[in-house]
Amino acid sequence: MRIGIGVHHRRLDAVCLRRDGTLTTHSIPRSSEEIDSALDRLLSGIGATHDPVRSIAFDLSEVLRRSDRLPLTVVRIAPRPPIDPGDEPRVGEAPILHVRGGHTTLGEELAPFDSAGFREASARIPAGSRVVITSAGALVNPGHELAAGEILLEHPGALSVSFSHAFSSNSFATRERTALLNSALLPDAEALSTALALVAGRHHPDARLSVTRNDGGRVPLSRLADAPVHSAFSGSPIEFIGAAALCGLDDGDLVLATGDGLRLGTLRFGAAVVIPQLRWGGARLATQTAHLVPASEILLSGRSPVPRVVRAGGTALPGWLDASELLETDLDLRALGAACAPLTDWAVDIVGAGSAAEMAHELQAAEARVRTRLAAFGALPSTVRILESRFTATTYEHARVVSVRVHGVAGEPAGALLAEGRASRAAER
């Protein structure tokens, strides 16, 4: 049995997907109660010896909180600071340390890393601070970011250090913005992942625990404490996956109608079509996310076949929407989507390749890394599918520098399992 749990501000909703394709639901209110206490009450009523729980997946996007209580310092490594300080993007009131260094897009040093200057400046960082380090060219060569991190290890006060090269974008500002948000989410993510793992382990010690991602998939819960930004916006994508599983859709367009409006998305081979960056507050974040857009009459006009429509909670539909393929549900689609979401992994790298043979080698190596990680997540190798494997040119960069993008998913197709359950029940009737 799989369990998907949607963690909301006021309640916890669970959907149990059994091996025969049947669903059961559970819901408990949660006012001021801690999430782990609520989860303990919820799981105490779930499970049976004849159908053991194999996996528990959480959607935590609604309750992941940013923490601004720790002081923040931003470190920017580049050949020189801005000529006009007024042109420099600020990060609230956080101090910015400029350090000489950085690399080109080929990984060659633009300027030597000023280790002595940084060691002197970093001594003034308050103990217990969050530090975000961003260096020019770090996605190709993170050497200067790592060197700055090693110096911070000498700091007498414990520091939380985040590196921009952990996030895939050739934009300095996008990497830094993503690292900043991720750093703010880390304290809550670490506390949540530990508390949920302890509670779930007491009730179902053999179940694999996972958390949903912005791309409509899931990863082991332990990874939440490393990169919570990739799970912070998973609510809508996971609702979309739940709606698709409910109507048995593996390929095609789907319109989801909820209290947040109409959203149009596309599935390919049982997974949501994704885009490489997320718009957040008018800026970009380096996180793969399901491509969901507001559905309009113009956008849907002439689409063939007509998109499936899933309406949740009796949401009103506009008159222009073709609802001939309508399915209505009162299920918590986040909980259902968490139960149905496939395991997911990405390899997104900037590499140098000067020939077709070198490009093929880089692509094969990236696919092998994705397959290996999915197997390490607990997936059967036979269920791994590579949905995307390609090179893209890097804008305005050197001709030898290309981006490798590989996306893999794994797991049983939950939509097919639900369809089999419906067919079996229909035959019994």
List, for residues 43-53, the tens digit of each pLDDT value: 988 866 577 89
311 CB-contact burial (10 Å; exposed 0-12 / middle 13-18 / buried 19+)? buried
CB 20, CB 424: distance < 8 Å: yes
3-state class (DSSP) for residue 176:
helix
Task: Tell me the β-bridge partners of 283.
Answer: 280
Measured in residues, the chain has a length of: 429
3-state class (DSSP) for residue 2:
strand
User: How would DSSP label each residue in 119-133?
Assistant: HHHHTTSPTT-EEEE
Other C-beta atoms lying within 10 Å of the C-beta of residue 411: 24
Residue-level pLDDT at 398: 65
Rounded Cα gap, residues 250 and 419, in angstroms: 11
3-state class (DSSP) for residue 359:
helix
Residue-level pLDDT at 422: 60
Q: Which residues contact 243 (CB under 8 A, 6 or more apart)?
A: 254, 256, 310, 312, 327, 329, 333, 337
Residue-level pLDDT at 91: 87
Which amino acid is located at 339 in the chain? Answer: A
3-state class (DSSP) for residue 145:
helix
Rounded Cα gap, residues 129 and 372, in angstroms: 35
CB 364, CB 390: distance < 8 Å: no
CB 126, CB 70: distance < 8 Å: no
Q: Which residues contact 351 (CB under 8 A, 6 or more apart)?
A: 362, 401, 402, 403, 404
Tokens of 166: 């952990």
Would you give the distance in Å from CA 283 to the centre of its chain?
Answer: 17
User: E-assigned strands of 182-227?
Assistant: 208-212, 218-220
Rounded Cα gap, residues 69 and 128, in angstroms: 10
Q: Which long-range contacts (CB under 8 A, 24 or more apart) does 203-208 make?
A: 203/40, 203/43, 203/44, 203/46, 203/47, 204/43, 204/47, 204/52, 204/53, 204/56, 206/52, 206/53, 206/54, 207/3, 207/53, 207/54, 207/55, 207/56, 208/54, 208/55, 208/56, 208/378
Residues in the chain, pLDDT under 50 = 425-429
